[in-house]
Each structure stands twice: as structure tokens, then as C-alpha cells.
Homo-oligomer: A and B are copies of this chain.
């Protein structure tokens, strides 16, 4: 086994973790020496399915991945959308059997990091471990924010909030272009994230468009008025914990 075939993978993880706190040169070296293979996933392809106990976790290098659950009548609830640099299923390192599935929402490239390596980090590098732990805590914070949207916000605010969140997260990893970002997904997929019907999602997009807040066409989201969108969505990025702190 070679170390990270793709130096970009190590760089992505270093970038991700040093967003939360400074890494020592030794810690960076540990990450660069991680063993991992890079894999491509087709749009819609499952990366991990519910019930499996994978021996690796997936670091997303390109594209969007989702976590989702199916209910008995076949409907789907998407519980997380992951972007470039996210450790999509880091949690399964400890959780063992997956209680949900992970799939490529768009074509994805990802590094598969073996759990034995993560375990070794957890044995020897407490600070790195805390930063990995932290990244799963931020995932949970996003879960909570989505719940607030589903339960107690208007549909417009819920969708607007999602767009604010994605924009903010993508901006941090340099994947926005002004107030635009690529998001090549269908409205039906957005519906499964919001817990709404397709028709209602379509109408909410129309409302965002008519209020000159956001447009989404051709797989590109364009924010027309960031301040008013934030206002209308009650978006407060605190829950993304973007500030660097000693951890």
C-alpha cells in the first residue's frame, strides 16, 4: 500500500483540519503519510449502504455526496449534503454498522481512508483526534439546523437557509465564483433534503426567483442578494463553527 496516491487528498484533509485549529508540522506529516486510495463514484452510485460495516471512511475530494435513509414506502430523506473536503462517513469509524446510506449526488472523487489508520491516529495524536471528532460534531450541528428548518421555519426560509449553508461551506473551500456555485442536482433531490414534495420545492424556487433572492438553473446556483437572502432565511453561520480556536 502506498501513501495517499493523490497528494491532493492529504492537502484537502490538512486544509480541512487546519481550518479549526493550527496543525503542527508533525501532524501534517502524519496526514501526508496516511494510506488511502482514491476512487471515482458515478452520479447516484452508493458509496456505503445501510447495514454495512465498512473498513474505511470516505474523504470527499470532488463533487457532492449525500447521506440518506429510505422509509418503507420507498421515499427518501436526505440527512446531509457533503462538499469537497468533508469526511463524509468518518462517524462509521466508531459507529460500525451504518444506520444510513451514503451516495454520490453528483460524480464524486473520494479518498478511502482505512479505519486502522484512523485508529492509529486516535492512539497517538490526541490533537488530531480532537479535530476529527470536531468535524463530526459540526456535522451534528448541521443536522440540528436542518431540523429547525424542517420543523419551525417557513419553506422559503428552509430552502434559503440550505443555499446559504452550501454557499458558506463552499466558499471556505474555494468552490464559489462570486455569488455563484455549481450545484448540479435536480429539484427532486433537493425535495428529499427538505422533506417536501417536488412540486412544492419547485414553487419555492420560483418564490426565491420572484423575490430576486436566488436562481438555480443549469446546475448553477446564483445568489442575487446575499443580505436579503440571509435575512429571509434567518441564516446565522455560528453553527458551522468556522472560527479557528484552540481545540
Please tell me if the beta carbons of B76 and A144 are within 8 angstroms of each other in the complex. Answer: no
Closest chain B CB from A58 CB (angstroms): 16
Interchain CB contact under 8 A, A77 and B241: no
Taking a contact as CB atoms under 8 Å apart, the answer to whether A195 and B151 are in contact is yes
Q: Nearest residue in B to A157 (C-beta to C-beta)?
A: B71
- Checking B77, B96, B239 against A148 with a beta-carbon cut-off of 8 angstroms, the contacting residue is B77
- For window 32-73 of chain A, which residues contact chain B by CB distance below 8 Å? 51, 67, 69, 71-72
| A225-247 to B contact mask, C-beta < 8 Å, 1/0 | 00000000010001101010101
User: Is there an interface contact between B69 and A148, defined as CB atoms closer than 8 Å?
Assistant: yes
Q: Which of B96, B100, B192 contacts A241 (CB 8 A)?
A: B96
Main secondary structure of the interface of A (DSSP, over half): helix
Q: Which of A53-108 contact B (CB under 8 A)?
A: 67, 69, 71-72, 75-77, 79-80, 91, 94-97, 99-100
Q: Which of A173-188 contact B (CB under 8 A)?
A: none
Which of B67, B100, B133 is within 8 Å of A133, CB to CB?
B133
B residues in contact with A72, CB < 8 Å = 234
User: Can you report 13 A-B residue pairs in the complex whose CB atoms are below 8 A from each other?
Assistant: A71-B153, A79-B144, A91-B137, A94-B137, A94-B247, A96-B241, A96-B245, A122-B129, A124-B126, A136-B137, A146-B147, A147-B195, A152-B195
Instruction: Using CB atoms and an 8 Å cutoff, list the residues of chain A in contact with chain B.
Output: 51, 67, 69, 71-72, 75-77, 79-80, 91, 94-97, 99-100, 122-124, 126, 129-130, 133-134, 136-141, 143-148, 150-153, 192, 194-196, 234, 238-239, 241, 243, 245, 247
